[in-house]
Amino acid sequence: MSRRKLIVGNWKMNGLLAQIGEIEAIDRLAQEKPKVEVGLCVPATLIHAASGVARSAFIGGQDCHMKDSGAHTGCLSAAMLKEAGAKTVIAGHSERRTDQHETSADVAAKAVAAHQAGLNVILCVGETEAERDAGNAEAVVSEQLLDSLPQNAAAAWLSIAYEPIWAIGTGRTPTMEEVDRMHRALREALRSRIGADADNMRILYGGSMNGANAGDLLAIADVDGGLVGGASLTAEKFAPIIEAASAAG
């Protein structure tokens, strides 16, 4: 099964208008590597400006509310993100599950709301270090995926990002064998829920992917791209990851 590689930068709480030049430079990288789908999920304050300069890379948000509107101070609906210029949104990032205590039911509801508003979704799942050390990683993350998956999940608008929580921002990564086992387990979990369309759905790796390890990670059969944090903040650091995805694709 051939799935186009997807490389998405998650800028988290980084980025001011002064960094718009980096977005333009990353967009040029995307133009040069058409085999790879490239995106940037930037702070909400940058979505409008970023979408105004991006031509080949898509711009996304980092979260949305599950409601269309209402008394939810400080929150943004999926329709608001779309109006600002977003094409996609992250749902269930580990930092939101941990820091904002989001449940898998919340994540599924957000994915539904985003899809109804016309956004694509990157749905995140992952295990803690304790769960990994206990030998339960594949079972825990597969269960979390199924609990977070919206009923109408389809590869046309949904991708999965596997985040080993203990690896995010630490520079640590699982072994290639561990990544391979996890991505295969997630593919099987998807097949149990959505059938043959699971083979079309992209599963991204999201734990400290960088220019040094991207080639090895993207060579794994069920690794269809990356959700990249710190290494996506500059074109210089992001370029070798996009290059590796183009070579692997």
Strand runs (DSSP E) across the chain, as ranges? 6-10, 37-41, 58-61, 88-91, 120-125, 158-162, 203-205, 225-228
Q: Is 65 a catalytic residue?
A: no
Amino acid (one-letter) located at 124: C
d(CA 113, CA 79): 9
Q: Cβ atoms within 10 A of the Cβ of 149, count?
A: 21
- Verify whether residue 163 is a known catalytic residue: yes
Spatial neighbors of 72 by CB under 8 A, at least 6 apart, are: 65
Active-site hit among 37, 102, 131, 163: 163
63's tokens = 């979260």
Q: What angle do CA 127, 130, 134 make, to 5 degrees?
A: 95
Give CA–CA dist 138/81, Å, rounded: 33
Of the residues 93, 115, 127, 138, only one is catalytic, namely: 93
Helices and strands, counts by H and E, the chain:
10, 8
The set of catalytic residues is 93, 163
